[in-house]
Amino acid sequence: MKPAASSPHTDRDALKRAAAEAAVQLVENDMIVGLGSGSTAAFAVEALARRHRQGLRFVGIPTSERTAAQAKAADIPLTSFSEHRQIDLTIDGADEVERGTLNLIKGLGGALLREKIVAAASHRLAIVVDGSKLVDRLGAHTPVPVEVVAFGLEATRESLEVLGANAHVRMSSGAPFVADSGNRILDCDFGRIADPARLDERIRRIVGVVESGLFISRADPVFVADAAGVHRLYSARAHRGSPPILVLMGVSGSGKSTIAEELLARLGWPFEEGDALHPESNVAKMHAGMPLTDADRLPWLERVAAWIDGSAPRSSQASSRARGSNAATAKSSSATGRRYGWSICVAAGTRSPSIWKGATAISCRRACCEAKSTLWKNRTQVKTR
């Protein structure tokens, strides 16, 4: 007799469980762990409960009342933001994951506001999905949930439709669904989304919108389970291996060195002046007030790429100390043009103007001579203006 064939639902649950089991291996003793919501996150909570029984010490912050109930039933110790402002790691599911960017659509389970609050407070957001959730463009199969206040819902819905959405009030048992926060949810079908970050920004500008189910630049890593096994996808923005490098870009006199010196004072981050990497011929031109051509800049871009990769000696004592330790480093540069920034990154072997090979880089530009960046280092948020 042939064994009974498993159902697609059973097979998918097995994949979700496998992805969740892989993700919970990231949890270490004494961590603050965000506990996601939904069917896939529930498998992660199960796995965490087992590890807790085996002696792993951690506390959890749940993203929904349902997850809180599951965690309490499994004797997972819970905490709250009143006791812990920062979360080491959150494990959650997603409704769609965009290949390459790892941008997400979340919220079909109805907990998107709390999920995003927890994600925003997390040092890392690990996402667990089965292979069916991977898409080339967000919106391919899933509407974008948008949490809105109940008052004026009709007007908010109309504003979302102006953006191109086909918006419907989510229903439950014949009445509008009520999220844990007391809000309503509009499921908005935008079709395939060309620019999720821009759409998220436009949605959140609408009065009456509480939060969007677009999770931009938050996930890393993503655990994907399919018939071939569990695969770990990393964000191109993520720093792995070498210490991170913060690149401050702005016109001369905009305060780049001041920002870098503030990082040095607060966190002990050494920094490198970008002009120190210019060839002597470029320095002579700049001192004479002569503009640099693209041909002049190319050797400098190559030196910057080598500096980032750590494949060439640094020209300053500070940068040598930085590469020799686990400390992050800061580098300033007066290159402000978008095309110029792109060229730097191409020289470093990458495709994005905000990502550098072997490091996480943030380009900061302000036409009115301001520079602002926000970064994280060991739970410490530093804001410079």
Q: Which residues are catalytic?
A: 115
| Pairing relationship of beta strands 271-273 and 329-333 according to DSSP bridges | parallel
- Which three-class secondary structure string do you get for the chain? CCCCCCCHHHHHHHHHHHHHHHHHHHCCCCEEEEECCCHHHHHHHHHHHHHHHCCCCEEEEECCHHHHHHHHHCCCCECCCCCCCCEEEEEECCCEEECCCCCEECCCCCCHHHHHHHHHCEEEEEEEEEHHHEECCCCCCCCEEEEECCCCHHHHHHHHHHCCCEEEECEECCEECCCCCCCEEEEEECCCCCCHHHHHHHHHCCCCEEEECEECCCCECEEEEECCEEEEECCCCCCCCCCCEEEEECCCCCCHHHHHHHHHHHHCCCEEEHHHHCCHHHHHHHHCCCCCCHHHHHHHHHHHHHHHHCCCCCCCHHHHHHHCCCCCEEEEECCCCHHHHHHHHHHCCCCCCCEECCEECCCCCCCCCCCCEEEEECCEEEEEC
**Spatial contact of 37 and 95, defined as CB atoms under 8 Å apart:** no
Max Cα separation, the chain? 89
CB distance 130 to 16 below 8 Å = yes
